[in-house]
Structure 1
Amino acid sequence: MSSDVVAALADPPRQTPRNRRQEETFRKVLSAGVEMLRQTSYADLTVRAVAARAKVAPATAYTYFSSKNHLIAEVYLDLVRQVEYFTDVNDSAVSRVEKTLRSMALMVADEPEVAAACTTALLSGNDPAVRAVRERIGAEIHRRIRAAVGPDGDPRTLAALEMTFFGALVNAGSGAFTYHQIADRLSYVVGLIVGEDR
C-alpha cells in the first residue's frame, strides 16, 4: 500500500457542517434508530418508523438519512467514534493495538440485531451516501489503529492491521465466528503483525 493511499485514509471525506439545531435533530433520529435496531430486525426498520419514534416528520429524517442503509451506516460510525483510544506509552504497541482492535470488534458483540443490521447496510450495493459513510468509518478505524501503533508506525503495518480487522468483521458478520471469537483471534494476529517485542 502506498503512503498516498494511507494518507488518503487518514483524511476522511468532508461533511457539510450542521448547526446546533440540525445536530440535535440528527442525534435524535440517530438515537431513535439505535433504539429501534435493538428491538427489531433490519427488515422491519424503516426511516419513517425511526422518524416517528424520534418525533420528527419523515421528511426531516430523510433530510439527514437518504435511506435505511444510510441511517444504519451512520449508527455504526457513531459506535466506532465512541470506542476509546488506547495510546498509553507505558503499554507496549502490541497491547495498545490489541486493546484497540478488541474494543472495536466487541462494540456490537452483545447486540446481534444491531450487528446484523450494520453488516447488511455497510455491505449493500453502491449507495453513494453509504459509501461516503463507509469511507468515514474506515478513516475512524485507521485513526484509532494509527494512534495505538504510535507515531513511528510503518504504513505497511497499519495497512496489514486494517485489512486483518476488516476481514475479521466480515467473518463475524457472515456468522463464521462470533464477535468474541474474532476479538480473541485478533489478539493473536496482532502479535504476529506488530511483533511481541515492541
Structure 2
Amino acid sequence: MEPVVVNREATRRRLTEKQADTVDKLTRAAMEVLSREGFAGLTVRMVAASAGVGTATAYTYFSSKEHLVAEMFWRRLAATPAPSDETVTDTTARAVAVLRQIALLVADEPELAGAVTSALLGTDPDVAHLRLRIGTEIRTRLVDALGANADPETVETLELLYAGALVRAGMGYASYTEIADRLEGAALRVLQD
C-alpha cells in the first residue's frame, strides 16, 4: 500500500518546509499537553513552550486552542487512508467500514476525542474552515464507498448519523467503540431500506 501524504498546508496559509516542521512540532506538543492537562487546561502558550517555539509564533499558525485541536483531527483523518478492500463489492459494507473508521479514529485517546468534539463545535473561523474540509473528506469517502450513483439523500443521512454519533460519544453517553457499533447498526438500517 502506498503511504498517504498529508497535505502540509495549514488552515491559514501555505507553508514552507521550515514552517511545516514548526506546525508539526506544535501539533505533536499539543497532544502531549492535552494528554497531561486535558482540553480545559490546554493553552496555546503551553503548547508553544512544549514545542520550544515562541507563543507569538504559535499564534501565527493557530488562532486558538480549538483551531489547533481541529487541525490535529484534520491531519489524523487526512493521514488515514479510507478503508479499501477491492474484493468487497458490497457498497453497504464499504460505507459501514468508512463510518466505523471515522468513529474509531480517536477512540484510543479519550482526551483527544473529547477535545475534538469541543473544538469542532467552536465558532472560530479557522475551525469553521477545517469543519468544511473534514466534512468534505468524509462525504467523499462515503460517496466513493457507495459508488458513482450514490443517492445524495442517503449520503446526507449517513453524515447526520456519524455527526450525531460522534457528538454523543463526545458527551460521554458511550465509548467511541460502543458508538462505532451503534453507528454501524444504524447505517445498516438506513442502507438496507
TM-score strictly above 0.5? yes
Which structure 1 segments of 5+ residues have no match?
1-13
Aligned CA RMSD, in angstroms, stands at 1.7
Aligned residues: 182
Which residue of the partner structure matches residue 122 of structure 1? 120
CA distance in 2, matches of 1:87, 1:151: 16
Q: Secondary structure at the match of 1:117?
A: helix
CA distance in 1, matches of 2:166, 2:81: 18
Which residue of the partner structure matches residue 102 of structure 1? 100
The answer to whether 1:148 aligns with 2:156 is: no
How far does the alpha carbon of each residue in 1:69-103 deviate from its partner, in whole angstroms, 9 at most, with x for none? 11111111112223321243421111111111111
CA contact (8 A) 2:35 2:112 kept: yes
The answer to whether 1:169 aligns with 2:166 is: yes
CA contact (8 A) 1:84 1:100 kept: no
Scaled by the length of structure 2, what TM-score is found?
Answer: 0.87
Scaled by the length of structure 1, what TM-score is found?
Answer: 0.85
CA contact (8 A) 2:12 2:61 kept: no
Please, which of 177, 188, 191 is the counterpart of residue 191 of structure 1?
Answer: 188
- The one-letter amino acid paired with 1:79 is R
Please, which of 48, 68, 79 is the counterpart of residue 82 of structure 1?
Answer: 79
- The one-letter amino acid paired with 1:52 is A
Which structure 2 segments of 5+ residues have no match?
1-10
CA contact (8 A) 1:86 1:97 kept: no
CA contact (8 A) 1:46 1:68 kept: yes
CA distance in 2, matches of 1:118, 1:30: 13
The answer to whether 1:32 aligns with 2:9 is: no
CA contact (8 A) 2:169 2:175 kept: yes
- The one-letter amino acid paired with 1:133 is L
Q: Secondary structure at the match of 2:80?
A: coil
